[in-house]
Amino acid sequence: MLKLAVIFLVAGLVLGVLGFSSLGGAFIGIAKILFFVVLALFLIFLVLGLVAGKKVKDAID
């Protein structure tokens, strides 16, 4: 999904340079949303991984 955000960002920048500023702005807005979704998912999975890892470590000991 991060790859998709980068693609939208590059497309938005190219559209902005070519003069399609409203369409480029929309693409950059989509890229921002995708980036924050990726960031939120990363943090959620990081916390879940730490909690699950601690439970596995406690079960082994």
pLDDT in tens, 3-59: 999 999 999 999 999 999 999 999 999 999 999 999 999 999 999 999 998 887 777
> Angle between the 2-18 and 21-60 helix axes, to the nearest 10 degrees?
160
Contact between residue 25 and residue 12 where contact means Cβ atoms under 8 Å apart: yes
Is 40 within 8 Å of 21 (Cβ atoms)? no
| pLDDT of residue 61 exceeding 80 | no
Q: Please give the pLDDT value at position 56.
A: 78
The domain spans of the chain are 2-55
Helix (H, G, I), strand (E, B) or coil at 36: helix
d(CA 21, CA 29): 12
User: For position 34, what pLDDT does the model report?
Assistant: 96
End-to-end CA distance of the chain: 37
**pTM to 2 decimal places:** 0.79
